[in-house]
Amino acid sequence: MPEVSELQAVRHYTNLSRRNFSIDNQFYPLGSCTMKYNPRGAHRVASLPGFTGRHPLAELPASQGFLACLHELQEVLKAATGMAAVSAAPMAGAQGEFAGIAMIRAYHDARGDTERREIIVPDAAHGTNPASAVMCGYVAREVPVGADGDVDFEALKAAVGEQTAGIMLTNPSTCGVFERRIADIADVVHDAGGLLYYDGANLNAILGTARPGDMGFDVLHVNLHKTFATPHGGGGPGAGPVGANERLAPYLPTPMALREGDAFRWLEPADAPDSIGRLSAFAGNAGILLRALAYARMLGRDGMRRVGEFATLNANYLMERLRQAGVELAYPERRASHEFVITFRQEAKEFGISAMDIAKRLLDHGIHAPTTYFPLLVPECFLIEPTETETKEELDAFVAALTQVLGEVRTDPERVKTAPHNLPSARLDDVKAARDLRLVHGAD
């Protein structure tokens, strides 16, 4: 760049980076996103020249190291989820969902069972679930969630029938609680000839402790960028490997790594004639897959159990501290999983302060806002997920900050309504951004 000196360029970008909210700078309790620390060791290993310098079309003899790693990751994910086979091809959680539902469809179609038109989705689900069902040509049928956060079992039984292709569930659910009747749900859906899809969004809560395969799920995806600590935010890159039991394994997407004795090769079309097909041009998000494997190897089996246990412990500690501080819990009778929902509906009613106002004020305290207005079922809510990598001191600091903000709601509501006050930009006009869409640079 001839226009500026190197020093000017360095300062420009360094200053820009300091304006960023990130896990390296701040507590980031963004519910449902599992914003845990991404260990530098995993990054270092994945950046070895042997990996970064490998041509994506390198011949097999020059690819044995990478293929061995990919195969090992597939095996690790099989063991962690209780599935019979895993493909690491999908390059995002949403693509993993698409793959899983496409596999359910391929299974039914292969049996000539083509009248099944519906995928059941709880009304608390991530929006991607009904979207994935529709992408695969199904109709999404909602079932309600009860006041305790569990799927309404009677409504589910009434919704299931010969038209049911399958059900998509997250467990623990988006309400931050464990779906207690999962075994009964599995029986009802299976008895009707449907299949169970596990959305791995919340796998962090049960990692090393419980496996979706043992709960009766037939197919699932895992968000490596959540549970396996690979970087995410700002749109990626993600990775959403998909796993299947014996029944659905033949339909897994490619590419996949295959082991023959001591040698590794790519799965060829002849090996998997029923596959739903190729989902990425080369080897999925290879760099992310390597980071996830490095993370899994650092943890080992015992470490994985500690991930789930500490994620759950941190969430429950934080939930109890907030309860004691007078915050209203959305599901007060339930133990939290790795995340929990609180509601500011009283603050909204009494003081006209919304959850969004409180989230904006937390930014002034150097805390990334929790997820707001999700799940949609709970008015004026936060979904809070501290993850296992935060200390007790960090959690206590969050309680102190939120307590202070809630005090301000009563004493100086205007201060909260107009937050943030010490950031480079204040409130962005999200209404204009959504109403006045300009998606093409330079158009008109």
Partner 1 sequence: MSETPEELHYAPSHEWARLEEDGTVTVGITDHAQDALGDIVYVELPDEEQQVEAGAEAGVVESVKAASDIYAPVTGVVIAANEVLEDAPERVNEDPYGDGWFFRIQPDDPGELEDLLDAAAYDEMCSEEE
| Among 376, 400, 423, 426, interactor with partner 1 by CB under 8 A | 376
Residue 142 or 320 with smaller CB distance to partner 1:
142
- Residue for token pair 């897959």: 289
Which residue shows structure tokens 């037939």?
A: 218
Q: With CB under 8 A as the contact rule, which of the stretches 159-167, 264-272, 395-403, 429-437 interacts with partner 1?
A: 429-437
Report if residue 431 touches partner 1, rule: CB under 8 A. yes
The verdict on whether omega for the bond into residue 172 sits within 30 degrees of 0, i.e. cis, is yes
Measured at the CA of 211, the angle between CA 209 and CA 212, to 5 degrees, comes to 145
Output the CA–CA distances (angstroms, integers) from residue 176 to 32, 183, 322, in the order listed.
Answer: 9, 18, 15
* Of 141, 345, 415, 417, the one binding partner 1 by CB under 8 A: 345
Give the distance between the most distant pair of CA atoms in the chain.
Answer: 71
430 lines the binding site for partner 1 (CB under 8 A): yes
Tell me whether residue 40 or residue 435 sits nearer to partner 1 (CB atom). Answer: 435
Quote the CA–CA distance of 413 and 399 in Å, as a whole number.
19
Does the protein bind partner 1 through residue 407 (CB under 8 A)?
A: no
- Contact flag: residue 438 with partner 1 (CB under 8 A): no
Q: First CA to last CA across the chain, in angstroms?
A: 30
**Part in contact with partner 1 (CB under 8 A); list of ranges 104-112, 312-320, 372-380, 394-402:** 372-380
For residue 27, give the nearest of 428, 394, 401, 288 by alpha carbon.
Answer: 394
Q: Indicate the residue among 153 and 373 with the shorter CB distance to partner 1.
A: 373
Q: Give the whole-angstrom CA distance, residue 431 versus residue 410.
A: 27
Among 11, 44, 278, 349, binds partner 1 (CB under 8 A): 349
Closest separation in Å from C-beta 48 to partner 1: 44
Q: Considering only 10-18, 50-58, 316-324, 426-434, which stretch makes contact with partner 1 by CB under 8 A?
A: 426-434
43 versus 345: smaller Cβ distance to partner 1: 345
- DSSP-H helix ranges across 82-218: 93-110, 128-135, 153-159, 182-191, 212-215
| Closer CB to partner 1, 154 or 396, in the complex | 154
What is the spatial distance between Cα 60 and Cα 35, in angstroms, rounded to a whole number?
36
Any contact of residue 141 with partner 1 (CB under 8 A)?
no
Query: In the 3-class helix/strand/coil scheme, how is 256-291 assigned residue by residue?
Result: CEEEECCEEEECCCCCCCCCCCECCCCCCCHHHHHH
User: Cβ closer to partner 1: 208 or 379?
Assistant: 379
Whichever of 73 and 355 has its CB closer to partner 1, that residue is: 355
CB of 433 to partner 1, least distance (A): 9
Q: Coil, helix or strand for 169? A: strand
Under the binding rule (CB under 8 A), the answer on residue 435 touching partner 1 is: yes
Task: Please identify, among the stretches 44-52, 63-71, 309-317, 431-439, the one whose residues bind partner 1 according to the rule CB under 8 A.
Answer: 431-439
Tell me, by CB under 8 A, how many residues bind partner 1.
10
Q: Is the peptide bond before 375 cis (omega within 30 degrees of 0)?
A: yes
Please say whether the beta carbons of 406 and 54 come within 8 A.
no
Site string for partner 1, 113-132 (x = CB under 8 A): --------------x-----
> What does the binding site for partner 1 look like in residue numbers (CB under 8 A)?
127, 345, 349, 373, 376, 379, 430-431, 434-435
